[in-house]
Amino acid sequence: MSTLSDRPENSVVGVPEPHESAALHVTGRALYTDDIATLRRDTLTAWPVQAPHAHAHIIALRTEPALVVPGVVRVLTAADVPGVNDGGIWNDEPLFPTEVMYFGQAVCWVLGETLEAARLGAAAVEVDYEVLPSLITVPEAIAAGSFQGAHRITRRGDVDAALATAPHVFTGEWEFSGQEHFYLETMASLAYYDEGGQMYVQAGTQHPSETQEIVAHVLGISSNAVTVQCVRMGGGFGGKEMQPHGLAAIAAIGATCTGRAVRLRLNRTQDLTMTGKRHGFHVAWTVGFDDNGRILGLKASLTADGGWSLDLSDPVLARALCHLDNAYWIPAIEAHGQVAKTNKTSQTAFRGFGGPQGIMVIEDILGRCAAPLGIDPALLRRRNFYAPGQTTPYGQPVRHAERMEAIWSQLLDKSEFAERSAQIEAFNAVNPHIKRGLAITPVKFGISFNVAAFNQAGALVLVYKDGSVLINHGGVEMGQGLHTKMIQVAATALGVPRASVRLAPTRTDKVPNTSATAASTGADLNGGAVKNACDQIRERMSVVAGGMLGANPTDVRFSQGKIHALGVHGQELTFADVAKVAYQQRVQLSAAGYYRTEGLHWDAEAWRGSPFKYFAYGAAAAEVEVDGFTGAYRTLRVDIVHDVGDSLSPIIDIGQIEGGFVQGAGWLTLEDLRWDTTDGPGRGRLLTQAASTYKLPSFSEMPEEFNVTLFEHAHEDGAIYGSKAVGEPPLMLAFSVREALRQAAARFGPAGRMTELASPATPEAVFWALTAAKQALATTAPGVDAPGAKRIPVLADS
């Protein structure tokens, strides 16, 4: 075991702890950005003027009518930008545009004494547009050759030869939808010049350092004059990795122009219409199998809908291509990836970051092809698992490949898969109008940022004379429980009770140059840095304690706030005693910690390397019930076995698994982003721009029985205290629901037929799938009239 992963006895990590802010959450005392802004009395409120066209030149902008609205203080325009008029990192996102690139883009911002004044002011601003042709769908962009970023290719073996000789070849082409983050707390920031004269920004951001950099370059000042703090967020899910920066910059410009504090909080409609989402993809594929269902070759082309600017689309696409294989050995592969440029919101990071889209491609292929191959889908999947010693298409050895097989067989047992499959067959045989499906799907997900430089972190740990401990680290809390884990890590590393450790809000003036809290790496990176800082302090305190106990410092042990030395009996010191003495001896009781992930390398041009520190594995078995009359369905039971290494914090990890699963199921079944693709005046408008039209999973989508098991004996040598990352991988366990729906729909038709299913698999989509199955049955069964018109359901013969 490595020092990093070695877990002491009686450690605070591994203990089930509720969220560190749980008592604040439940009593309404936990503060979020706009709460802080609301509790101030002197803030101005910023409100956007949103363009009503998907693509247009701005011919004229008249702000004077807004200025006469009572309470309007100022209208911010490009002329007010002291530095660079751009809120992105690729210089392709003007904060105040001359060319509108998507419907709802902000063209200027109104500052008001109240929200009402700012809103009315924005309504009074007059803008003249010259409307330009727009590209809304991915096929439109492909036809127009509208792409951005790099064209990437992943390639291994001779795929054309493999497909030419494969006994079973299938092809497909389809599009699947993106997903709105719908963090409950919308984008928010508060900016003012503090008593030290620096620009202070409280923002809901997953990347405070980048928010700081963008604010600095927009204001034309250096990073040391800007401090960004994030106390906590009401959810992020990737949506606040890149896109809060420009909004924080607007607030900062407002504060610069007026000398007042400025709050900017998007309301739900603005957040939905202005910020990016998970990328929808267009994919085309050809796959070849041998007679046993083993994949021989896969040729695929993936086009991500990037929206109007590049944002994080390049690395999202990279991760999609790196997860096309999911858990499967694909001996010959050629997959192309491109990012379409369309006149929509700039699509961005979302839990899984392209991984779900890559896995969608292969899981859809296996789900479609199992029936025509005549192989049970569960068996087909298992037959294609990686074997130990095999490598991914990009050349990384698949370490711990045997875990996939172990998890799979454990889950088959725990879910009583075989018995329930038989019961479902019996149920389906006697129920003409209701069918059930039970599907099991795997996940293998690579952990680390694909860009090696991002895999570093810092921390600041302070021990006070009374023995209390205050920690800072570079990661942000958005509900995922990172702070809880970091407190547990610090308590473990210093050998103090959990209650001795407090955590201070994330600030760029405490820990600089941090990476985004993203890619599931928050605990790995920041945990490494916190432990490093604690180890430095403990080492120094060991010398002090050794002196006090008359023992060798290497024999000093810290546990639960008490310090003793091996071989010294009957003498025990408290952590506070030693801290006090250390101070008197002029021993430093604080430390800056640092961590970087070792062993990563990635050549993006050659598309080769080992970009991931390790893989997280898991599998889920889902049972659904489909109403043949309507396509409506329920998720009856879900069983999951998932690999989180040795869990740092079991309640937190199980919460991430369950929450990720339900969020993934939402993407795959319910959440239905619709855009106006007509040529009418609303072209490019997001049609589902409210909670009433964009439906998230509610209690009714929760599996009625939901059993989550953490994979045991799962020590991960390369990560903090033997744990593994957990934020993203479980989202992809939800493919089990989609595949169960496919199987249930197929049961309305003849065996051996390929069942296509749209994504999201809404009740309507499931209805069309089962209707096609019924029609196939009708056309094959003698004596039953098949209705002539397509998509008319076969009326159940009662």
Partner 1 sequence: MDRLDLTVNGHQRTMVPDAAHTTALDWLRNNGLTGCKEGCAEGECGACAVLVAQSDGDGGTTWTSINACLVPIAALDGQEIITSEGLGSPDKLHPVQERMAVAGGSQCGYCTPGFVCSMASEFYRRGRGANATGATGESHGPNGFDLHSLSGNLCRCTGYRPIRDAAYALAEPDVDDALAARRDRPAPGPALTDVQAPDGRFVRPATLADTLALRAENPLAVVVAGSTDWGVEVNIRGRRERLVIAIDRLLELGTIEFGDEFIEIGAAVSLSEVERFLAGRVPLLAELIPQFASRLIRNRATIGGNLGTGSPIGDLAPALLALDARLVLASPGGERDVYLSEYFTGYRTSVLRPDELIRLIRIPLPLAHLTGFHKITKRRFDDISSVAVAFALDVRNGLVHDARIGLGGVAATPLRARATEALLIGQPWGAQTVHRAAASLAGEGTPMSDHRASAEYRSIMLSQSILKLFAQSTATLGARA
Q: Which of residues 32-61 bind partner 1 (CB under 8 A)?
A: 32, 35, 38-39
User: Are the beta carbons of 287 and 297 closer than 8 angstroms?
Assistant: yes
Q: Stretches 243-251, 477-485, 521-529, 604-612: which one binds partner 1 (CB under 8 A)?
A: 477-485
Site string for partner 1, 431-460 (x = CB under 8 A): xxxx--------------------------
C-alpha distances (whole Å) from 755 to each of 508, 617, 672, 679, 748 are 52, 27, 21, 33, 11
Q: Is 68 in the site for partner 1 (CB under 8 A)?
A: no
CA-wise closest residue to 515 among 481, 476, 551:
476
CA-wise closest residue to 135 among 335, 374, 303, 314:
303
Residue type for position 772:
A
What's the CA gap between 657 and 644, in Å, rounded? 9
Q: Stretches 139-147, 476-484, 527-535, 541-549: which one binds partner 1 (CB under 8 A)?
A: 476-484
> Which CB, 63 or 656, lies closer to partner 1?
656
Q: Which residues, numbered 372-411, are part of the site for partner 1 (CB under 8 A)?
A: none
Q: Is 786 in the site for partner 1 (CB under 8 A)?
A: no
What's the CA gap between 786 and 28, in Å, rounded? 59
Q: Is 104 in the site for partner 1 (CB under 8 A)?
A: no
> Which CB, 478 or 496, lies closer to partner 1?
478
Interface with partner 1 (CB under 8 A), residue from 61, 72, 443, 652: 652
Helix (H) or strand (E) holding 245: helix 244-258
Q: Which residues, numbered 479-538, are part of the site for partner 1 (CB under 8 A)?
A: 479-481
Q: Which residues, numbered 180-239, are part of the site for partner 1 (CB under 8 A)?
A: 181-186, 232-235, 237
In the complex, minimum distance from the CB of residue 408 to partner 1, in angstroms, rounded to a whole number: 22
> Which CB, 387 or 429, lies closer to partner 1?
429
Secondary structure of 707-719 in HEC code, one letter for each residue? EEEECCCCCCCCC
> Which CB, 80 or 658, lies closer to partner 1?
658
Residue type for position 157:
G
774 phi and psi angles, rounded to 5 deg? -65, -40
Close Cβ partners of 494 (under 8 Å, ≥ 6 residues apart): 463, 469, 500, 501, 534, 537, 538, 558, 575
Secondary structure of 710-764 in HEC code, one letter for each residue? ECCCCCCCCCHHHECCCCCHHHHHHHHHHHHHHHHHHCCCCCCCCCCCCCCCCHH
In the complex, minimum distance from the CB of residue 519 to partner 1, in angstroms, rounded to a whole number: 18
Task: Identify the three-state secondary structure at position 540.
Answer: helix
In the complex, minimum distance from the CB of residue 635 to partner 1, in angstroms, rounded to a whole number: 10
Kindly give the residue spans of alpha helices, DSSP state H, lying in 73-189.
115-124, 138-144, 159-165
Interface with partner 1 (CB under 8 A), residue from 293, 354, 611, 655: 655
In the complex, minimum distance from the CB of residue 630 to partner 1, in angstroms, rounded to a whole number: 6
In the complex, minimum distance from the CB of residue 458 to partner 1, in angstroms, rounded to a whole number: 24
In the complex, minimum distance from the CB of residue 505 to partner 1, in angstroms, rounded to a whole number: 14
What's the CA gap between 332 and 294, in Å, rounded? 12
> Which CB, 35 or 555, lies closer to partner 1?
35
Q: Are strands 295-305 and 562-565 parallel, antiparallel or unpaired?
A: unpaired
Close Cβ partners of 679 (under 8 Å, ≥ 6 residues apart): none
> Which CB, 409 or 688, lies closer to partner 1?
688
What's the CA gap between 217 and 249, in Å, rounded? 9
In the complex, minimum distance from the CB of residue 106 to partner 1, in angstroms, rounded to a whole number: 17
Which of 20, 213, 728, 739 is catalytic? The answer is 728
In the complex, minimum distance from the CB of residue 369 to partner 1, in angstroms, rounded to a whole number: 27
CA angle in degrees (0–180, nearest 5) for 598-604-610: 35
> Which CB, 181 or 540, lies closer to partner 1?
181
What's the CA gap between 194 and 212, in Å, rounded? 15
Close Cβ partners of 624 (under 8 Å, ≥ 6 residues apart): 436, 437, 633, 634, 635, 636, 737, 740, 741, 744
Ramachandran bin of 603, using left for φ above 0, alpha for ψ from -120 to 50, beta for the remaining angles: beta
Active site residue 728: yes
Q: Is 175 in the site for partner 1 (CB under 8 A)?
A: no
Number of residues that bind partner 1 (CB under 8 A): 92
In the complex, minimum distance from the CB of residue 730 to partner 1, in angstroms, rounded to a whole number: 9
Q: Which residues, numbered 540-599, are part of the site for partner 1 (CB under 8 A)?
A: none
In the complex, minimum distance from the CB of residue 478 to partner 1, in angstroms, rounded to a whole number: 6
Q: Is 778 in the site for partner 1 (CB under 8 A)?
A: no
Q: Stretches 7-15, 440-448, 450-458, 655-663: which one binds partner 1 (CB under 8 A)?
A: 655-663
In the complex, minimum distance from the CB of residue 563 to partner 1, in angstroms, rounded to a whole number: 30
> Which CB, 70 or 167, lies closer to partner 1?
70
> Which CB, 155 or 695, lies closer to partner 1?
695
C-alpha distances (whole Å) from 759 to each of 178, 625, 646, 695 are 9, 18, 35, 15
Chain-centre distance for alpha carbon 646: 22
Task: Identify the three-state secondary structure at position 334.
Answer: strand
Q: Which residues, numbered 252-281, are part of the site for partner 1 (CB under 8 A)?
A: 267-269
251: which strand partners? none
> Which CB, 87 or 481, lies closer to partner 1?
481
Site string for partner 1, 745-764 (x = CB under 8 A): -----------------xxx
> Which CB, 143 or 796, lies closer to partner 1?
796
User: Are the beta carbons of 311 and 286 closer than 8 angstroms?
Assistant: no
In the complex, minimum distance from the CB of residue 233 to partner 1, in angstroms, rounded to a whole number: 6
Interface with partner 1 (CB under 8 A), residue from 596, 629, 779, 781: 629
What's the CA gap between 639 and 414, in Å, rounded? 7
Task: Identify the three-state secondary structure at position 442.
Answer: strand
> Which CB, 290 or 701, lies closer to partner 1?
701
Q: Stretches 218-226, 281-289, 381-389, 630-638: which one binds partner 1 (CB under 8 A)?
A: 630-638
Q: Which residues, numbered 657-716, are part of the site for partner 1 (CB under 8 A)?
A: 658-663, 670, 672, 674, 687-688, 690-693, 695-704, 706
C-alpha distances (whole Å) from 22 to each of 18, 30, 91, 484 are 7, 9, 40, 10
Task: Identify the three-state secondary structure at position 1.
Answer: coil
Q: Is 604 in the site for partner 1 (CB under 8 A)?
A: no
Q: Is 784 in the site for partner 1 (CB under 8 A)?
A: no
Site string for partner 1, 320-359 (x = CB under 8 A): ----------------------------------------
Q: Stretches 28-36, 51-59, 302-310, 329-337: which one binds partner 1 (CB under 8 A)?
A: 28-36
What are the residue numbers of the active site? Answer: 728
